[in-house]
């Protein structure tokens, strides 16, 4: 950290013939963010030095001359396509991870926001709704792509970074709308210019790319004002509110009727729109007493969070399939791309299940391990 050794920093600046006032300004700027536990970024060159990535490369990214992203489209089980994923390539990927680890993940997240925050989880989010008699679920359409470069800039400015580094950090963390085919560039038309550096002036803003390391945590920061409004709304009605990325849930454990749910939905949608997002009305659900209560795929209609029938069946089918027919035959039957891919997939499902229902998952994990080892496959714990 720069402010850890001010005398050494000043001495280094003098060796480079830097003016004392410039050195003092740099120290002051560094202290403003480092006192909050954030990494100092004084210039784009400083970011390049801190991350070990070449300055010319970062300069071209910030000037929007490069588009180091791969477009990925993942098919759903029903055959429909998911929204496009913008996957950053190296070395931009490493720079974004550095910004996440050293800056964005260190910013406090809203107490009712559960995704992309250290220590938060799907289980913790679902637990908030245990004992609910009514459940109202809503969704935000195109959550990440709704957030533009200017909003990301404000996150860094609010954290204490100077205007120019905030512009550069925002550019590094967003994808230029003029390069992406899955968004309307006109929706991101940039009417402002950056007078400090003419080469930074471009016709469109960037958007927050789903699939980039820092996007989730940055989206939470942008959505914190929305979380404030929805939390206040929930408290005024005696409800519990949570948000996990674009999934919002409200629940009631006391007296509640359908007309109140309809009124709640109307107010939530107004708040969502006033904060720059668009509600995905087709995904809105009202779950009354007597119906199964599911939050983020987990059952919350008892005293403990439980796995739903779907994920239990998926795990059981894989375990029974390998037990009965062998690993290779089962991989061919379920049309997985490789043996390793299936083993990793089931391992991930079992790890998730173990966090939710450890006793049930432990028995299935024993059976799975025995089945794949019988076919000569050794799981990482048994190599």
Lowest mean pLDDT among 15-24, 283-292, 358-367: 15-24
Question: Strands 175-176, 206-207: parallel, antiparallel or unpaired by DSSP?
Answer: antiparallel
Is residue 22 predicted with pLDDT exceeding 70? no
Computed from CA positions of residues 282, 285, 286, 292, in that sequence, does the dihedral angle turn out positive or negative?
positive
pLDDT digit string (tens) for 44-55? 999 999 999 999
pLDDT digits (tens, 9 = 90+) for 321-359: 999 999 999 999 999 989 999 999 999 999 999 999 999
User: Rounded CA gap, 83 and 96, in Å?
Assistant: 21
Q: What pLDDT is stored for residue 383 in this prediction? A: 47
Buried b (16+ CB within 10 A) or exposed e, 100-127: bebbbbbbebbebbbbbbeebbbeebbb
- pTM for this prediction: 0.90
Average pLDDT over residues 66-79: 78
Cβ-proximal residues to 12 (8 Å cutoff; 6+ apart), any chain: none
3-state SS, residue 327: helix
pLDDT of residue 213 exceeding 90, the answer is: yes
Beta bridge partners of 295: 298
Given a contact cutoff of 8 angstroms between Cβ atoms, the answer to whether 64 and 207 are in contact is no
Better-scored residue on pLDDT, 380 or 293: 293
Q: Encode pLDDT of 294-310 as tens digits.
A: 999 999 998 999 999 99
Helix orientation angle between 339-356 and 358-374, rounded to the nearest 10 degrees: 160
Question: CA angle, corner 174, sides to 138 and 211, nearest 5?
Answer: 55
Q: Where are the beta strands (DSSP E) in the chain?
A: 69-72, 85-88, 134-141, 175-176, 206-207, 240-244, 247-252, 278-279, 285-287, 294-295, 298-299, 306-307
Taking the CA of residue 185 as centre, how many other CA atoms within 13 Å lie in the half-sphere pointing to its CB?
10
| Token reading at 187 | 């929706």
As a residue count, the chain comes to 383
For residue 203, give the 3-state DSSP assignment: coil
The two three-digit tokens of residue 359, written as one number: 């006793």
Band (pLDDT 50/70/90 cuts) for residue 258 is: very high
Contact 287, 135 (CB under 8 A): yes
Q: What's CA 341's distance to the chain center, in Å?
A: 24
d(CA 320, CA 147): 44
pLDDT of residue 242 exceeding 80, the answer is yes
Q: How far apart are the first and last CA of the chain?
A: 41
Average pLDDT for 141-164: 95
Predicted pLDDT of residue 19: 67
Q: How many alpha carbons fall within 13 Å on the CB side of residue 165?
A: 23
Q: Which of 1-5, 150-154, 173-177 has the lowest mean pLDDT?
A: 1-5
In contact, 139 and 296? CB cutoff 8 Å: no
């Amino acid at each position: 950290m720069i402010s850890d050794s001010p005398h050494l920093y000043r001495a280094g600046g003098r060796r480079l013939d830097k003016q004392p006032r410039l050195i003092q300004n740099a120290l002051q700027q560094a202290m403003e963010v480092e006192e909050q536990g954030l990494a100092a970024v004084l210039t784009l060159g400083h970011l390049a030095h801190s991350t070990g990535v070449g300055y010319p490369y970062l300069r071209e990214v910030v000037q929007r001359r490069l588009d180091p992203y791969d477009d990925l489209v993942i098919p759903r089980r029903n055959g429909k396509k998911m929204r496009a994923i913008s996957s950053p390539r190296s070395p931009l990927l490493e720079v974004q991870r550095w910004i996440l680890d050293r800056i964005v993940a260190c910013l406090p997240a809203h107490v009712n926001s559960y995704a992309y925050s250290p220590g938060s989880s799907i289980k913790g989010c679902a637990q908030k709704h245990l004992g609910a008699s009514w459940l109202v679920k809503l969704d935000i359409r195109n959550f990440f792509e709704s957030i533009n470069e200017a909003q990301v800039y404000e996150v860094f400015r609010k954290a204490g970074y100077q205007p120019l580094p905030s512009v550069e950090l925002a550019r590094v963390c967003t994808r230029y709308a003029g390069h992406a085919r899955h968004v309307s560039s006109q929706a991101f038309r940039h009417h402002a210019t950056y007078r400090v550096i003419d080469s930074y002036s471009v016709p469109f803003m960037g958007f927050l790319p789903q699939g980039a390391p820092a996007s989730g945590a940055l989206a939470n920061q942008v959505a914190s004002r929305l979380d404030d409004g929805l939390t206040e709304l929930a408290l005024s009605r005696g409800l519990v509110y949570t948000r996990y990325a674009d999934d919002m849930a409200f629940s009631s454990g006391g007296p509640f009727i359908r007309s109140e749910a309809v009124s709640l939905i109307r107010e939530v949608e107004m708040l969502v729109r006033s904060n720059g997002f668009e509600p995905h009305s087709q995904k809105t659900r009202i779950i009354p007493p007597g119906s199964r209560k599911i939050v983020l795929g987990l059952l919350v209609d008892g005293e403990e969070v439980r796995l739903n029938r779907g994920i239990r069946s998926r795990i059981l089918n894989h375990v029974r399939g390998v037990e009965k027919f062998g690993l290779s035959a089962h991989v061919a039957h379920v049309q997985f791309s490789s043996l390793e891919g299936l083993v990793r997939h089931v391992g991930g499902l079992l790890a998730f299940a173990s966090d939710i229902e450890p006793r049930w998952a432990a028995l299935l994990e024993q059976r799975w391990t025995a089945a794949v080892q019988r076919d000569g496959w050794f799981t990482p714990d048994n190599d």
